[in-house]
Amino acid sequence: MNHHPLSGIYAASITPLNMDFSPDLEAIPEYLRFLANNGCHGALILGTTGEGPSFDDAERLAILKAALEIRSDHPNFSLLVGTGTPSLTETISLTKTAFDLGVNGVVTLPPYYYHQATSDGLFAWFRELINHAVPNDGYLLGYHIPAQSRVPLNLDLLSKLKDSYPIQFAGIKDSSGDPEHSKTLSEYFGDDLVVMIGSDALFLHSLEHHGSGCITALANLFSSDLRIIWDAFQKGDKAIEIQKRLTALRTILMNYTPYPPTLKALLHHYHNFPLWSVRPPLLSISRHQTQKAILELATLEKELG
């Protein structure tokens, strides 16, 4: 596997919200402590699962400052923050602020409104961002989620960015869901590119192809399983049965997307967190759907023994 200062198990963290859709700032560090105590090396806040695009700059800043409180009792817990917007100016501002406050790195969507952007145009966008906002010892991960952004980060773009910014452009969060993409990245870049897989089902596969870890939605619920796979892999083992279990769990929960409302309902059920709301246009999952998901997960657990 590819070892890097950002390597490890990261939850694509949910964002606790009050019933009026405002961020529950007191709950944020408490929730991150829960993740730290359940095997996570760190968390990505304000990503897709964290409803990042739903918040304005002031809300993002407040959420980030609340998240940094985790450092008071978990000083080694790594914090990544989602900073990508279609606006270059706003993305520069969010990214610079995040590094000024002391995050470990940023995960940046490409300008997702511009579906026809060329590789050269995207390179120019990331070049301006890195030059103006990423310190020389800072780390930026591009966010490759083509089904959502419709702006893929192709090999040519990744290669140009890595050649131009070998330290600052650390690599990507790969949420393509494509196992062949992991192989392609491995063959093309080897250990030069940090690849954080976005699918729990592909975690072991990614580690076997120079992956550096994962940033996943289901780490909010199943980070202990991911950590077992991680720790086993360091020792030369593969924890294949745990990976099969995770893959089966993800297969079930893929029928209950989008993830933020489902994860919040399940965290309430399994861990007694408040039933946090989601911000429109997302809607809370119905009680019927929640119970259906719980039943399916319980049935799977029985089948797996």
Residues marked as catalytic: 48, 113, 143, 173
Q: What is the rounded CA–CA span in Å between residue 171 and residue 235?
A: 25
Q: What is the rounded CA–CA span in Å between residue 125 and residue 102?
A: 23
Q: Which amino acid is present at 262?
A: T
Question: CA distances (Å), 68 to each of 16, 24, 45, 71, in order?
Answer: 15, 14, 11, 6
> What are the residue ranges of helices labelled H in the chain?
27-36, 57-67, 88-101, 119-133, 146-149, 155-164, 179-189, 203-207, 219-234, 240-253, 259-271, 287-304
Answer yes or no: are the C-beta atoms of 56 and 63 closer than 8 Å.
no
Question: CA distances (Å), 181 to each of 26, 52, 202, 253, in order?
Answer: 39, 25, 11, 23
Q: What is the rounded CA–CA span in Å between residue 236 and residue 239?
A: 10
Tell me if residue 183 falls in helix, strand or coil: helix
Q: What is the rounded CA–CA span in Å between residue 81 and residue 95?
A: 8
